[in-house]
Amino acid sequence: MATLIAQRELRNNNADILNRVEAGESFVVTRNGIAVADVVPHSEGSKPPMFPSTKDLTARRRDSKDSAPDREAWVRDIREADSLVDDDPLNSRA
């Protein structure tokens, strides 16, 4: 089980905490009581997530039976997302 630590503790004791992580311990870092990060031992097999290459995406699209994009669904998604964001500067609460 991971140990909860505040961001302040990580900042002030980072060398000690990293030594403990190196020894196999895991931590959940909190800010204002809310978990924001995990500090865990490194795994050789783990790599950062990568976006697929353009070549792979193009090949997948060619292989797909339904290669034509659904324009109506795309427009619906954009309008729905737009309704969630108030980017009108006249309505801002500055």
pLDDT digits (tens, 9 = 90+) for 35-93: 999 999 988 776 776 788 888 888 877 666 665 678 888 899 888 888 877 776 666 55
Structure-block tokens of residue 2: 């991971």
* Domains of the chain, residue spans: 3-39, 54-85
Task: For 35-50, write each residue's pLDDT tens digit.
Answer: 999 999 988 776 776 7
C-beta of residue 28 within 8 angstroms of C-beta of residue 6: no
Global pTM value: 0.48
pLDDT of amino acid 70: 81
CATH of 3-39, one of 3.40.50.1110, 3.40.50.300, 3.30.70.580, 3.40.1620.10: 3.40.1620.10
Q: How many Cα atoms are found within 13 Å in the side-chain-facing hemisphere of 77? A: 6
